[in-house]
Chain A
Amino acid sequence: MAKVLMKGNEAMALAAIKGGVDAFFGYPITPQNEIPEYLSRELPKLGKVFVQAESEVAAINMVYGAGGAGARVLTSSSSPGIALKQEGITYMAGSQIPGVIINVMRGGPGLGGIQPSQADYYQVTRGGGNGDYNCIVLAPENVQEAFDLVKESFDLADYYRNPVMIAADGLIGQMMAPVDIDKETPKLDLPEKDWATTGMKNRRTKENKDVDPNIIVSLSLVDTVLEEMNLVLQKKYTHMRENQQRYELINIEDAEIVIVAYGTSSRICRSAMEILKEEGIKVGMIRPITLWPFPEKAFAEIPESVKGLLTVEMSMGQMIDDVKISNNGKLPVGFYGRCGGVIPEPEEIVNAVKDFLGGLNG
């Protein structure tokens, strides 16, 4: 096991290489620039493709083209840049093109700021693109997990022929931590990409000389055909919902309060939980690792002892919608959040838990 001290962004870039990336297309934006910088240096050495595009719009459409041609493709950006990529992401979903999109989230709305944020929860789980589509969204809590999830994401994208998003934030991207860069991640049994546009020659065999063109398309002008195309996508999304929900349960046995938090927020909540434990307050946590599909299964595991759920986000309350849907009215749901790039202190969360508990005990 070789542990290397790396910045989160560089770890994600290396993870992409370890995950077999063939090409990167991107456009500079803070706080994710170490990803393209690292890959601009390393990919050409491996005979692989790095292109700095003229815009995020162009970059995601290059991903579309290269992914449609069968390559393993990555782009990365940060919040306002991800907004620009939404057009291409819905085209990828509609045309069933695999690809990985890293979002190192920063504060918004508009140009916002460059400090860490989770205010893109809606953007990554609901998409800004048009139509009924979903991306698998993976939210790492630390640099090692960022490495692991990015490496694995290429298999997930290929398995489902669907875009996969990584929802990191500026803290994870900029933080340095030791990373086990040889760590094995789960592998999926992947089918041949017999749909890719690599030229008809590549599909002709001695036995089968008569091949049809491969066509990458999301268009149909016939309503019933478009509905059929949608139902194919929905079948995949159902499979994802049933098989890809990922979460971590922390100390939920005998808990009075369960925090729901992901990414950097869950990391800070862990520190708050230590303080609360010393004070004799029993607090557990559900940590979603997939933001989509949202891990609603986790909520079935909440014990009788729990009096309420406290959602903690670095936004003004977005994931709380999914928490409420998963909770289905069973328990009171509270919220604590900071925004604009402000990272909450553990003490703030300690106080939020106490306030929430106080309110429940009335």
Chain B
Amino acid sequence: MDNLVFERTKGLTKKEFSYCPGCTHGIIHRLVAEVLEELNVLDTAVGVASVGCSVINYEYFDCDMQQAAHGRAPAVATGIKRVNPENTVFTYQGDGDLAAIGTAEIIHAAHRNENISVMFVNNAIFGMTGGQMAPTTLPGQKTTTSQNGRDPYVVGMPIRMSEVLGQIPGAYYVERVSVHNPKHIIKAKKAIKKAFQNQIDGKGFSLVEFISTCPINWRMTPNDSLKWVEDSMIPYYPLGVVKDGDKND
């Protein structure tokens, strides 16, 4: 195998993903798994699965996992990390989970500067329950509970969680990335690596927000979904570092 140039990451089990065609959860899973492997922390990692499409990702990541109640992953991760600080602890949460029911838990995990890494997947919709409106749903976006399109006059403008979290003094590192093309996938992986390296270095709360797709519930083809990320999502959810404790010193 001298000429081996690529192999499947050891961070993922052999279980097939349950995700829909064109959904970018799979890419994000692989990036997180590759980072865990490259940082040599798979053996000490404890992941926290949340509620949403990624609810059974404890079957996909090849490390110890806990499955949390809807929105509570940051509190569960806090419990794990506080009693076993030598573990590398991460949550993997969607926007229905983190930006709606779990706002208190994520804000206070950041506020306490919990030394955990949060993978926040924002696809602007409740995916698993069948495409309901999320706090992150864009104005005019049609969902099963905003069938005429999100009306900001009635339900407000979408919440930008990275910006919310970035202004919390305790948060160390917050970056928003996208995985809609190879260039951005490479950037996303760098952000994930930084979020985990920060934890290993004891720097504290680090969050990566991924702009992700949901072709089925967006009622779009996978290609159109990637284009919608570029044309509609990214203008409202600008990519880049929101906060970096390394640069604020």
Interface residues of A (CB under 8 A from B): 22-23, 25, 49, 51, 53-55, 57-59, 61-71, 73, 87-88, 91, 95, 197-201, 204, 213-219, 221
Contacts and interface: CB of A to CB of B under 8 A. Distances in A.
A216 B45 CA distance: 14
10 contacts: A51-B78, A58-B105, A68-B80, A69-B46, A87-B69, A197-B80, A200-B44, A213-B13, A215-B59, A219-B67
B79 A217 contact: no
A65 B58 contact: no
Given A53-B108, A54-B111, 5 more contacts: A54-B107, A57-B104, A58-B104, A66-B79, A66-B83
Given A25-B79, A65-B80, A201-B43, A88 B69 contact: yes
Interface in B48-98: 48-49, 55-56, 58-59, 61-69, 72, 75-80, 82-84, 86-88
B58 A61 contact: no
A62 B78 contact: yes
* Smallest CB-CB A-B distances: 3 pairs: A65-B79, A66-B79, A61-B75
Contacts of A219: 55-56, 67
Question: What's the dominant secondary structure at chain B's contact region?
Answer: mixed
Contacts of B31: none
Contacts of B76: 61-62, 64-65, 68
B174 interface: no
Contacts, number: 145
B79 A62 contact: yes
A70 B86 CA distance: 14
Contact of B84 (A55, A91, A198, A215): A198
B69 A65 contact: no
A65 B75 contact: yes
Contacts of B44: 199-201
A63 to B, nearest CB: 6
Given A23-B79, A69-B84, A213 B64 contact: yes
B195 interface: no
A71 B77 CA distance: 13
Contacts of B65: 197, 213-217
B202 to A, nearest CB: 16
Nearest to A51: B82
A354 B218 CA distance: 72
A65 B48 contact: yes
A208 to B, nearest CB: 14
Nearest to B82: A49
B118 interface: no
B104 A55 contact: yes
B42 interface: yes
B72 A95 contact: no
A54 B67 contact: no
Nearest to A66: B79
Given A62-B75, A69-B87, A217 B45 contact: no
A20 to B, nearest CB: 13
A91 B104 CA distance: 19
Contacts of A213: 13, 58, 61-65
Contacts of A200: 42-44, 63-64
Contacts of A221: 56
A90 to B, nearest CB: 9
A67 B79 contact: yes
Contacts of B104: 54-55, 57-58
A22 B83 contact: yes
Given A62-B79, A219-B55, A57 B72 contact: yes
Nearest to A211: B43
Contact of A66 (B43, B69, B72, B80): B80
A14 B13 CA distance: 44
B83 A49 contact: yes
Nearest to B112: A51
Given A199-B45, A215-B58, A69 B68 contact: no
B67 A95 contact: yes
